[in-house]
Amino acid sequence: MGAADLVPGVSGGTVAFITGIYEELLLSLRSFDFIAFKEFFSLHWGAFFKRVRWKFLLPLILGALFSVAMFSSLISGLLNNPLQRSYLYAGFSGLIFASFIFCWKHLKDKSFRNIFILLLSALVAFYITTVRVEPSYSDLYHCKISLDATSDNYSDGVLRNITLKQLSAMHAKGIISDETEVFSIFEGRWGKKSDFIKFKQGSFLNPWLMLCGALAICAMLLPGISGSYILHILGSYTTIISALAFLFSGLRDGILDFYAIADLVNLGMGVLLGLLFFVRIISWLFQKHHQLTISILLGFMLGAVRSVWPFWTGRFLVDPLRPAHGPQLELLRPILPTFDGSTFFVFLTMMATFILVFLLDKLAAKKNTRVIG
């Protein structure tokens, strides 16, 4: 489940569903209520562990954390190579198509209402994945910085098109100072950074990442849609996967990346809020409107396939907050592939992951049959 929720294509909820532990997962998460948190922070450990279903959740959480630690750096590296990213996204696409078919079989009520809701959800998801928010010219700057790299936004010692928030964060991290030369696109002139922007310490809390965490944990519990997939369409997936990669790579070098920790803590606080509120909403929806809920999920899976299409145009940009890591690949728009050897293997990867979901389903069915026998 941890490995599944690292990638925007298949959910931990789907893995739980096809391996037969989904219902127990929901019941276990519901045991984390306000009373349980009160017992925890009151240091009433006995009452806390008696209330929550920790014997089921602890090995599940440890397994998920192990997968995150093992695969976050690998996935981050794959995302930065155009060809490897195509293979990775092909795998995601195959998982999404298989998850769609798997969940479609569980949609018993294929009435006009449910099909209409499915199509409407697909349109909403497609719209969300096509929206790109571009900063205004009044919020963009260039700055002089010495890097051993060349990219689409860095050349001749100038890092281009930096937003106001990024510039302030660069100052906070010590990448630039008040004396750094900055060019304001809006004013059309060079000057010291302090001439344009007075440093202001940013808040540790990030309400947007907290909301993303709450929505992600909600998605993680739903068969067919992943938490990382929600982060992907909300534009926070790269932030979180990079934060995980930088945190673990920094720990290996004995360095703490506090900005990565801040991102993950904000996401974690959102996850806790989601556990308290959304788990109960999900349970109620599945109990009272099961088929309608499945229809909505199917629509989102279908409409958002665009976001994990393997073939894109892209460009390499230096991340202003992590310039030492060099140019990072940024996707621009999906395209149709040119059919060559690599394209064949990309589609072969898609087919392999498509088949994998159904193999897992069959393995779970055999396991359940042996248990019943």
Q: What is the per-residue pLDDT across 43-54, written as a single tens digit (0 to 9) for each?
A: 888 888 888 888
67 contacts 258 by C-beta, under 8 angstroms = no
Q: Is the pLDDT of residue 372 over 50?
A: no
Give residues with Cβ within 8 angstroms of 5, minimum separation 6. 11, 12, 64, 220, 226, 227, 228
Residue (of 104, 102, 80, 78) closest to 91 by Cα position: 78
Give residues with Cβ within 8 angstroms of 258, minimum separation 6. none
Q: If you search the block for the tokens 């087919």, which residue do you land on?
A: 351
Q: Is the pLDDT of residue 370 over 60?
A: no
Q: How many Cβ atoms sit within 10 Å of the Cβ of residue 348?
A: 12
Average pLDDT over residues 259-263: 81
Residue (of 100, 114, 112, 95) closest to 293 by Cα position: 114
Of 75-89, 135-149, 158-172, 244-258, which gets the smallest average pLDDT?
Answer: 244-258
pLDDT greater at residue 311 or residue 245: 311
> What's the rounded Cα separation, in Å, for the pair 244 and 326?
17
- CA angle 191/196/202 to nearest 5° reads 135
Percentage of residues in the chain having pLDDT higher than 70: 82
Give the pLDDT of residue 200: 47
> What's the rounded Cα separation, in Å, for the pair 355 and 349?
10
Give residues with Cβ within 8 angstroms of 126, minimum separation 6. 303, 304, 306
- CA angle 66/68/70 to nearest 5° reads 65
> What's the rounded Cα separation, in Å, for the pair 238 and 314?
15
Average pLDDT over residues 160-176: 77
197 contacts 190 by C-beta, under 8 angstroms = no
pTM over 0.75: no
Q: Is the pLDDT of residue 270 over 70?
A: yes
Give the pLDDT of residue 371: 47
Q: Is 343 helix (H, G, I), strand (E, B) or coil?
A: helix
Q: Is the pLDDT of residue 9 over 80?
A: no
| Sequence letter at residue 212 | C
367: confidence class by pLDDT, cuts 50, 70, 90: low
Of 180-184, 234-238, 276-280, which gets the smallest average pLDDT?
Answer: 234-238
pLDDT greater at residue 371 or residue 35: 35
> What's the rounded Cα separation, in Å, for the pair 187 and 265?
37
Q: Is the pLDDT of residue 136 over 70?
A: no
Q: Is the pLDDT of residue 360 over 50?
A: yes
Give the start-end residues of each E strand in the chain: 140-144, 154-155, 158-163, 181-184, 189-192, 312-318, 327-334
What does pLDDT average to over the chain? 80
Q: Is 57 helix (H, G, I), strand (E, B) or coil?
A: helix
**What is the strand order of the sheet 181-184 is part of?**
154-155, 158-163, 140-144, 181-184, 189-192
Give residues with Cβ within 8 angstroms of 44, minimum separation 6. none
Give the pLDDT of residue 142: 93
